[in-house]
Structure 1
Amino acid sequence: MGDAGEDKETAASGDTEIEKPETEPKPPPEPEPKPPDVELFVDGFGFMPKSKTKDDRRRSSLFAKTRSSHKDNHEDHGEQSPCASSTNIDIVRRYTWKTKNRMTVQVITYGATITAISVPDRKGVPDDVLAGFDTLEEYFQPRNPYFGATIGRYANVIRDATIMVRPSGRLYMISNNKGHHHYNGGYVGFDKVNWHSYVSGLKVIMTHVSERFHEGYPGTVMCQVTFEVTCDNTLKIEMKCTTSEPTVINMSNAPFFNLAGHHTGADLMMDHIFTINADKFTAVDEDGLVTGERKVVGGTAYDFRVPRVLRAMMPKIPMGGYDINYCVTRGTDQDLAFQARVLHPLTGRVLEVYSNQPGMQFYTGNLLPDPDKIVEPLPAEPEEDVEENENSEMSSEKSSVLGEDEEGDEREGRKSYGYIPLLGKKGTMYKRHGLFCLMPQNYPDAVNNKNFPNSVLNPGEEYIHRMQYKFGILLGKYV
């Protein structure tokens, strides 16, 4: 009875002790933050030398006087305005995307160039499948075959370096950097300038202003290239242009691939299986220039409408490899159309190309250095005869011993003989038929062929080129 009374008094006084559980319940653990599907990093790749910003490359004689006087005027007035051109930027920036599916893509602002694309094979081992160089200085070399660069104003060849801009009917002479013809934008195309750049979310947007009569083109053109990498291992590129007066535009990008790895060479390159969505191609003459005729691929070695192994098709090509524009099969109102599919059976890597352009250039690295073709050096001759010999050599049949840009040495007034290796990333020697290129584009020389798709851009209009390089893996065995 006494204990019960004490308990009541204790309870009344409010000093009772409440038994606590031995262990307090722990709060639920916070979920670990999920890694983002895509990450974007920015760093520096190098600095533009002053010689590049001054743009002192040699040009054709037609533009030598006008360019030199133009340059003198700018030197008299001091440095150019930052708004005049994007070539006065000193820092070359590099942007790197990494996806949760182990894809890595790198782009630099010099030439709006794709420098690396690393994707996994069927075993999950990533490897770089894009050709390129380790340093910025190597991208400056004249033998650089436009590796991964943005091409403009006009990709591919324009015959006789003349354009007739319709409907005005005005005739313009543009720079002739490939013999008597114009090639990939001229001596200083979009691939040789440092672009302005900024980041918007996971997109990298690069801009450049091409001044009026640069390389002979009419109109001041404002260009924008947007790069984006998505979590499904797709590289998306969008190119836009506006102009101040009627001009021609045909922008593209020139990535050189080998799905077995950029370093593996011609042996594994021949194992690729190609499918190209085109029933016609633009015929070319002996010089590789389009004739204006579109031929049917059926019954020819250009027929890739069904998957074909490159090793079986290459011997059928008399030109030593593919360098041809395909007329892509498209729907009437179709925007992005499937253009090509490439499979490497050993690694299982698959590449699909989509674009809204009517054509696609297929190239198998025919002019990359060929170690099997050795030319003996000619004996030294008097200086008086040098010019005559060089002129005859320039008009003779092209040789692949000088690499992709053999005209570069000829422009400088000297001729080289023998195998000269082209060193790329991590000491890789890029050789003939060791890489392939798929370039969505308008038809070559479309401005001078009325039956080709329109390539003239007028004021108030907007040129838009969308393309996608989509990578995947074939897990099963290809039959």
Structure 2
Amino acid sequence: MHASFSYRVCALFLAAMLPGAAPAPMARAAAMAVTLTRAPFGTLPDGQVVERFTLANTHGVRLQVMTYGAIITAIDAPDRRGHVADVVLGFPTLEDYVVNNPRGSLYFGATVGRVANRIANGTFSLDGHVYHIPRTEGTNALHGGRRGFDRHVWHVEATATTTDGASVTLMRVSPDGEEGFPGTLVAHVTFGLNSRNELSLHYRATTDRPTVVNLTNHSYFNLNGEGSGSVENEILQIHADTFTPVDAASLPLGTTAPVAGTALDFRTPRRIGACLRDGGQQMRDQHGYDFNWIVNAAPASAPVLVAHLSDPASGRNMDVLTTQPGLQVYTANALDGRYTGPSGHAYRQTDAVALEAEHYPDSPNHPDFPTITLRPGAIYDQTTLYRLGVEPGGTPAP
């Protein structure tokens, strides 16, 4: 298997820190473009201690990730006036993440697995064996079952700092049969931040039996700032000509369709809200956007630019680059004001947009889709980059 660009990037991060190496002396900290700190973030009812890591560069960009659920809890970024705000939805405390998400229904900032998105009837076949995953969304298995990867404490495998960036690698072992999935899966996620305001998420996994795996991050973005209201005026561009149509249960029909002439046509930049109230069947069934755009014909060897998001009010913008074949775009359709973020404001529908780079939904049941089967000896290896920027003059809303 050829080495990907993402693997080389993370290798540079990890090479800077040998196992057992002592922490960098304070004299070196000033030379680092990105600092990395760790601190306790709380304790779970079973006594497990959860840590949170903070990666911060000299441009005011800061990434926070905790070991519970390998969850991104905050992404701070400056606007055109230099004002820094958190641009992802989340909660202020660990208890909020545990109590407000009893069945894994929100996934704020979470690493989702073993299989992200939906599996029809919670059932799939692999090598002649039928496997059953707990149904958590009607008849669907959603985001890994009742207790997916977002509901476990991950092990801190490594941290690294270089003159250009910093990273933390989290790991968990998903045992054979967990949530019905076959094989012991060893999963790693490396969260990185560099001096170019790029947040990198590098996923790797291996298995001892044939299994299926589809990992992603479920951060909800609002570039005007968490708790600032609807993202309908934010400008989105998606570099995709086709998408996978779904039925009323959000399951793919097994076909692809052109975005041209539909509410899903973001080939040229336009407001998220421009067609949000489109009366077509697809939009009615999903209550907004919750679709998979085909952004790469097959998994790419290096991250490809697949989407651009910008906010006219603040001037913040973000590129999304990935090796994954699909991009699930979700306009927080299920938020109804019951949950309150760190800002103290209640979250409602369209208060954010999730840009989930992943394989297609229900892939195990559609042989024509890019496969998510992982076999012993192979390595699941995917990377997604979120590149933050600012537009001094803003972007006029069309």
Q: TM-score, normalised by structure 1?
A: 0.72
Equivalent residue for 1:25? Answer: none
Equivalent residue for 2:15? Answer: none
Structure 1 residues 333, 99: closer, same or farther in 2, change over 3 A?
closer
Contact 2:50/2:153 (CA < 8 Å) preserved in 1? Answer: yes
Equivalent residue for 1:260? Answer: 224
Does residue 241 (structure 1) correspond to residue 205 (structure 2)? The answer is yes
Contact 1:365/1:433 (CA < 8 Å) preserved in 2? Answer: yes
Equivalent position amino acid for 1:162 in 2: T
Alignment of 1:176-191 (within 5 A): 176-191=135-150
Q: State the 4+ residue runs in structure 1 displaced beyond 6 angstroms.
A: none
Structure 1 residues 171, 142: closer, same or farther in 2, change over 3 A?
farther
How many angstroms does 1:236 deviate by?
0.5
How many angstroms does 1:35 deviate by?
5.1
Contact 2:176/2:185 (CA < 8 Å) preserved in 1? Answer: yes
Identity level (%): 37
Match of 1:131 among 72, 86, 89: 89
Partner of 1:360: helix, strand, or coil?
strand
How many angstroms does 1:213 deviate by?
0.4
Equivalent position amino acid for 2:364 in 1: V
Coordinate RMSD, CA, aligned: 1.7
Alignment of 1:35-184 (within 5 A): 36-50=32-46, 90-143=48-101, 145-165=106-126, 168-184=127-143
Question: Take 2:114 and 2:225, find their aligned partners in 1: how far apart are those partners?
Answer: 30
Out of 102-111 and 331-340, give the one that drifted further: 331-340
How many angstroms does 1:221 deviate by?
0.5
Equivalent residue for 1:378? Answer: none
Question: Take 1:456 and 1:274, find their aligned partners in 2: how far apart are those partners?
Answer: 32
Out of 331-340 and 35-44, give the one that drifted further: 331-340
Partner of 1:427: helix, strand, or coil?
coil
Alignment of 1:402-417 (within 5 A): none
Contact 2:212/2:364 (CA < 8 Å) preserved in 1? Answer: yes
How many angstroms does 1:111 deviate by?
0.2
Contact 2:34/2:57 (CA < 8 Å) preserved in 1? Answer: yes
Structure 1 residues 333, 92: closer, same or farther in 2, change over 3 A?
closer
Unaligned runs of 5+ residues in structure 2 are 1-27
Contact 1:108/1:114 (CA < 8 Å) preserved in 2? Answer: yes
Equivalent position amino acid for 1:91 in 2: V
Which has a greater percent of strand?
A: 2
Does residue 271 (structure 1) correspond to residue 230 (structure 2)? The answer is no
Question: Take 1:310 and 1:176, find their aligned partners in 2: how far apart are those partners?
Answer: 31
Match of 1:321 among 288, 293, 299: 288
Equivalent position amino acid for 2:108 in 1: F
Equivalent residue for 1:353? Answer: 320
Post-superposition Cα deviations, 1:83-132, rounded to whole Å, max 9, x if no partner, equal: xxxxxxx2101100111101111100000000000100011111111110
Equivalent residue for 2:350? Answer: 433
Structure 1 residues 224, 174: closer, same or farther in 2, change over 3 A?
same
Question: Take 1:133 and 1:289, find their aligned partners in 2: how far apart are those partners?
Answer: 30
Match of 2:381 among 454, 464, 468: 464
Equivalent position amino acid for 1:453 in 2: P
Question: Take 2:218 and 2:37, find their aligned partners in 1: how far apart are those partners?
Answer: 23
How many angstroms does 1:203 deviate by?
1.6
Question: Take 2:173 and 2:91, find their aligned partners in 1: how far apart are those partners?
Answer: 26
Out of 332-341 and 450-459, give the one that drifted further: 332-341
Equivalent position amino acid for 2:37 in 1: F
Contact 1:272/1:345 (CA < 8 Å) preserved in 2? Answer: yes
Question: Take 1:330 and 1:175, find their aligned partners in 2: how far apart are those partners?
Answer: 30
Question: Take 2:152 and 2:29, find their aligned partners in 1: how far apart are those partners?
Answer: 41
Equivalent residue for 2:14? Answer: none
Structure 1 residues 470, 283: closer, same or farther in 2, change over 3 A?
same
Question: Take 2:210 and 2:30, find their aligned partners in 1: how far apart are those partners?
Answer: 50
Contact 2:29/2:35 (CA < 8 Å) preserved in 1? Answer: no
Unaligned runs of 5+ residues in structure 1 are 1-31, 54-89, 371-420
Aligned length: 356
Does residue 293 (structure 1) correspond to residue 255 (structure 2)? The answer is yes
Partner of 2:96: helix, strand, or coil?
helix
Contact 2:36/2:55 (CA < 8 Å) preserved in 1? Answer: yes
Out of 307-316 and 275-284, give the one that drifted further: 307-316
Equivalent residue for 2:159? Answer: 199
How many angstroms does 1:427 deviate by?
1.8
Question: Take 2:106 and 2:216, find their aligned partners in 1: how far apart are those partners?
Answer: 14
Match of 1:217 among 160, 181, 199: 181
Equivalent residue for 2:369? Answer: 452
How many angstroms does 1:331 deviate by?
8.0
